[in-house]
Amino acid sequence: MFLIEVTAPRGALTEADRGTLAEEIISGLISAGDGSAEVPEATMRRARRMTHLGFHALTDWHTGDGLWRPPAAPPLWFRITVPEAWRTELSRHLMGWIRRVVHRLDRRHGWTREPSSLWVTLTGVAEGSIGLGGRPGGADDVLDHLTEEFRAGTDPAREVPEGSVIDPMCGMVVRLGPGAITVQHDGETLGFCAAACRDGYLRRHLAAR
């Protein structure tokens, strides 16, 4: 679940700019990155549907130096809404990706950007306050919906590279080794793409006992 709002001064971004930003941001947040099949299509299909991005245009954007005017790089504010339980783990990746996308935009326009003209804020939504489908829920409800098709077992079997395992929640290929998120369950090493998948898996299986 990514709800992304991009705010810029009115007229600062062309239609082409907005389209390119949207495409690059979304692809970096929900794709496997290299076009590989490390994330099953069942999970990617849900991830695409649960990612939303829109633009706000503000009239007369002022800073402490006064009214922004071209040709200076326009100030940009990205606000990303995620479940609170995911916020800390996602922050570094999301902020780094947005920064790289904006740097590419700046190079295309020849803009020189001061750090103070780019802000990225992650808003965490408290448990019970996420209205997926208009029904109050939390991070586990979002995760369950995201991974439902994969867990239903509709995807064909895939070959797993040596030293890797399949995340049992979302189906992503996880490479074992230092830093991998793993759990020992019934004598088997399970690997997870993120703490959210691990925690969701444990809660589901602990509740079933």
Residue 88: CA count within 13 A, CB half-sphere: 3
Q: Kindly report, residue by residue over 62-97, the tens digit of the pLDDT.
A: 999 999 999 999 999 999 999 999 999 999 999 999
pLDDT for 29: 86
Q: Residue 199 half-sphere exposure, CB side, CA atoms within 13 Å?
A: 11
Got the DSSP string for 39-102? S-HHHHHHHHHTEEEEEEEESS-EETTEE--TTSPPPEEEEEEEEHHHHHHHHHHHHHHHHHHH
Check if the beta carbon of residue 68 is closer than 8 Å to that of residue 61. Answer: yes
Q: What are the tokens at 123?
A: 């808003």
pLDDT tens digits for range 106-140: 999 999 999 999 999 999 999 999 999 999 999 99
pTM: 0.87
Domains present along the chain, CATH in parentheses: 2-132 (3.30.429.10), 157-207 (no CATH)
Distance CA 111, CA 103 (A): 9
C-alpha 204/C-alpha 209 separation (Å) is 9
Question: Does residue 31 register a pLDDT over 90?
Answer: no
